């Protein structure tokens, strides 16, 4: 009897303690009637990585009932995700061409910022690159974004306009990968956005591309029609053109829309 009674008493005590203790966090939240925040997923061009982290924090502070999660990649990859039905609420690309190809999947887009290209080199510019023409130097390891990527398309455009023949050692899936190759010393130079180079200050040097030889990248944003939080998604896209958001973008080196 003693051997049988002890476990039974222990089990009874455990049940009693459990009944007296508080419930799970989910139960507590339900008991208090707390409303779960709306979770927005925003697909954004890789060149927006740094600035959107800052913008997202500012938006959440002003909208405590909303949580914003970003997924960064090349614009062409983001477009593929949208076409495949990836669960997301808003899209921001680094060119209008990619966004225009998704008219059936998005609301009417609005341009939130613009950008320009620059040449990124190793710190100190050891190969003495002075402009686009120097990227054709024999033996120079140049890396570019792939032609289907907005940054790659812009790069091809400006190089062809200046009749500069560049044979890149690699073509990367997004502009941040180009920047990474240069900053890690795996390439001597690459063409990136001004804002990317600014974010890597100290890791790369830059060579200015004159406006007459440059290309302007536009960043359109739009809510996705398939979003489960359409109103919240549209509110976020509208906020991106607000004075607060525009200041964050300007401080990061982006130009006015």
Sequence-distant (≥ 6) Cβ neighbours of residue 55 within 8 angstroms: 240, 245, 248, 249
Tally of residues, the chain:
257
CA distances from 2 to 5, 8, 62 (A): 5, 10, 64
Annotated binding-site members: 47, 75, 151, 175, 193
HSE-up (13 A, CA, CB side) for residue 59: 28
Question: Which CATH architecture group holds 38-114+218-251?
Answer: 3-Layer(aba) Sandwich (3.40)
CB 204 within 8 A of CB 182: yes
Q: From first to last of the 257 residues of the chain, give the pLDDT tens digit.
A: 344 444 433 344 333 333 334 333 333 344 445 678 899 999 999 999 999 999 999 999 999 999 999 999 999 999 999 999 999 999 999 999 999 999 999 999 999 999 999 999 999 999 999 999 999 999 999 999 999 999 999 999 999 999 999 999 999 999 999 999 999 999 999 999 999 999 999 999 999 999 999 999 999 999 999 999 999 999 999 999 999 999 999 999 999 99
What are the tokens at 41?
Answer: 């997923």
| pTM for this predicted structure | 0.83
38-114+218-251 and 115-216 agree in CATH topology: yes
Q: What is the pLDDT of residue 16?
A: 38
Superfamily grouping for domain 115-216: Periplasmic binding protein-like II (3.40.190.10)
Annotated binding-site members for molybdate: 47, 75, 151, 175, 193
């Amino acid at each position: 009897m003693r051997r049988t009674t002890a476990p039974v008493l222990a089990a009874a005590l455990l049940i009693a303690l459990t009944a007296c203790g508080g419930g799970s966090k989910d139960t507590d939240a339900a008991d208090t009637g707390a409303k779960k925040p709306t979770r927005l997923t925003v697909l954004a061009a890789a060149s927006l990585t740094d600035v959107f982290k800052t913008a997202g924090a500012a938006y959440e502070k002003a909208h405590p009932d909303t949580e914003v999660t970003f997924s960064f990649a090349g614009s062409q990859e983001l477009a593929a995700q949208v076409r495949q039905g990836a669960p997301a609420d808003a899209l921001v690309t680094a060119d209008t061409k990619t966004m225009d190809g998704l008219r059936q999947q998005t609301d009417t887009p609005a341009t939130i910022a613009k950008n320009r290209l620059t040449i990124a080199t190793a710190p100190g510019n050891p190969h003495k690159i002075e402009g686009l023409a120097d990227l054709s130097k024999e033996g120079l390891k140049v890396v570019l974004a792939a032609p289907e990527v907005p940054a790659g398309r812009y790069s091809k455009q400006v190089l062809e306009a200046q009749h500069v023949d560049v044979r890149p050692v690699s073509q990367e899936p997004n502009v941040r990968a180009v920047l990474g190759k240069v900053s890690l010393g795996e390439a001597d130079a690459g063409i990136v956005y001004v804002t990317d180079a600014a974010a890597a200050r100290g890791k790369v040097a830059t060579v200015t591309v004159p406006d007459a030889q440059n290309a302007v990248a536009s960043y359109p944003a739009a809510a996705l029609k398939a979003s489960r939080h359409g109103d919240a998604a549209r509110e976020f896209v509208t906020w991106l053109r607000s004075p607060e958001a525009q200041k964050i973008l300007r401080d990061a080196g982006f130009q006015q829309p």
